[in-house]
A = this chain, B = another copy of it.
Amino acid sequence: MECQLTIALTEQKKEKPASDKLGFGVHFTDHMFVMDYTEGKGWHDPQIVPYSPLTIDPAAMVFHYGQAVFEGLKAYRNKAGEVRLFRPDQNFKRLNRSLARLDMPAVDEAFMIEALKKLVSVEKEWIPTEEGTSLYIRPFVIATEPCFGVRASHTYKLLILLSPVGAYYAAGMKPVKIYVENSYVRAVRGGTGNAKVAGNYAGSLKAQTEAHEKGYEQVLWLDAIETKYIEEVGSMNVFFKVNGEVWTPVLNGSILEGITRDSTIQLLKSWGIPVVEKRIAMEDLFQAYNDGVLEEAFGTGTAAVISPVGEMSWNGHKMVINQSQTGEMTQKLYDTMTGIQYGVLEDKLGWSVKVTE
């Protein structure tokens, strides 16, 4: 089991970037959390230390066999100065599922949440307060044993990095254009698609780049088996409002179990909007579009929270959704979710966790 968390504070604090120059994931705070794992000894030596480069053997297994999993969540700070996390228990639960999939050792979820709260409170001044800004939190675990044998590593390192991030929609929400990908696939049942595994993302970059070249911002992934059913959008889950009800792909073993996805489903249901989790054939979505009942479309994920989809391209068919405007329900979801995250709306579902000191 983890022992006592030790804290070593830096003597050289960095200058904080201006809140309109934050971007996403390019600035990092003064400290980070580090914890080591050694087979036989378990996780040990949890520490908050100054942010610094890793010194790591070039033969470390993470570089060769990709044993690396991660999580993403945010800390929000409101005008009153209160700092909140959003459902962090879900992130550490999923981290353990991802770790298990890559044959890596589980962490103590309760301890991790406490360690994270401590780290966030140490870095409290780094959390921007302007509308839409937040502190992105990146827990990750990498295999560190220097060895070329193809087997699970015997040593690991868990880190948490913090990065102040700008408003995803600095100029208001802007619907994105999506390219439905028919050649590359993201994941398949029996693979690692439902875990938050580094390799899933590496495999997606080429399709993303090709979509950009065609003038689209994101890729919509179809299933690997029949290239027929909708799976995800970019690195987000995806929802469609069709004739008053909301469809989202059912979790099938290759789709990531998004926490914003789950929160979206719960919110919609609490509003009395029917949500159907099912296999969605691209053909059926196109039919709904042609019938004039595809009313709204959006992605869900930690970075954007809710990302409206304004246009889709599928096999040469161009589908313009809600005149490329953010739909009413999409906007309400965004406003409600972020309202709860910042602690300015009532948190009926008990999702928001205050970082106390």
Contact = CB atoms under 8 A, between A and B. Distances in A.
Given A53-B58, A161-B59, A209 B152 contact: yes
By size class, the interface of chain A is: 35 or more
A313 interface: no
Interface in A198-251: 198-206, 208-209, 224-225, 227, 234-235
Given A54-B58, A149-B25, A235-B150, A197 B199 contact: yes
Interface in A84-104: 100-103
Contact of A200 (B32, B187, B199): B199
A301 to B, nearest CB: 10
A47 interface: no
A202 B66 contact: yes
Given A68-B202, A205-B65, A55 B55 contact: yes
Interface in A38-63: 51, 53-59, 62-63
Contacts of A289: none
Contact of A136 (B148, B186, B190): B148
B63 A198 contact: yes
Interface string A1-37: 0000000000000000000000011101000100000
Interface of A: 24-26, 28, 32, 51, 53-59, 62-68, 70, 72, 100-103, 136, 138, 140, 142, 146-152, 159, 161, 163, 183-192, 197-206, 208-209, 224-225, 227, 234-235
- Nearest first, the 6 closest Cβ-Cβ pairs linking A and B are A199-B199, A25-B148, A66-B198, A185-B190, A65-B201, A66-B202
